[in-house]
Amino acid sequence: MPNSHKPHFLKPLLPDFHSGVTIPLGFFSQHIEGKTNRKTWKLRSDATDQTWEVIQEGRRLTGGWKDFTTAHDLQIGDIVIFKHEGDMVFHVTPFGPSCCEIQYTHPHIIKEEADADDAPSFSFDYCFQAEVTASNLKEDKLYLPEGATTCTALNKQCQEIILVNKEGNSWTVSLRFSEADSMYYIRRGWRKFCRANRCAIGDLFVFNVVGDGKTTPLMCVCPEREE
């Protein structure tokens, strides 16, 4: 798990992640923009002693990123955590779908997941289905299931959550907890998210909630699975 004293951010790997990954705006504004003129990130991991150079274009990591993901056998559904070590050096830690850190066997970079006892405190295994309805569009409010109260990615102090679609685009919306209903709900952004994704009443989303209970959580649209 990343050292909480070092700046870090996490990214879920969505379809087409090989083409590049977007740096979160908050992290970019606070730690990158105006802080350096360098446009090359140096990525390191526990898989190998190699340092991977990846080109930054605006808020995107592009050139060299595909080589890094291929060498680490990253897949849709994995999550990578970037920890800023300083001087544009980032330690990257991948996590698999069972909420366990991915371990690599040297020197062939064969990956396996750590034992459950070594699982980090990051939670990304809470999924739920949400339906677009006339009422939640009108009220600009979506209630999360009661089960969301057990998700360690969320806490009552959270004021925001980031919705991420399958293309990796994101929308920051308000997150609140209703004491009367004992449920989390999102508002001031749900309608905008639905419109941007051309949703119709009756459309269904499967969301995966991602976070560590300390940083702003993500609510990612899960890719469709073939039957």
State pLDDT tens for residues 172-223.
899 999 999 999 999 989 999 999 999 999 999 888 887 777 777 888 887 5
Q: What is the pLDDT of residues 60-105, one digit of tens each?
A: 999 999 999 999 988 877 788 899 999 999 999 887 654 456 766 6
pLDDT at 4 over 60: no
Whole-prediction pTM: 0.54
Residues 6+ apart with CB under 8 A from 133: 201, 202
**Cα distance between residue 76 and residue 167, in whole Å:** 12
pLDDT for position 12: 76
Strand-pairing partners, residue 143, are 185
**Cα distance between residue 97 and residue 76, in whole Å:** 9
Q: What is the pLDDT of residues 130-187, one digit of tens each?
A: 999 999 999 999 999 998 998 888 888 889 998 888 766 778 899 999 999 999 999 9
Measured in degrees and rounded to the nearest 5, phi and psi for residue 69 equal -65, -35
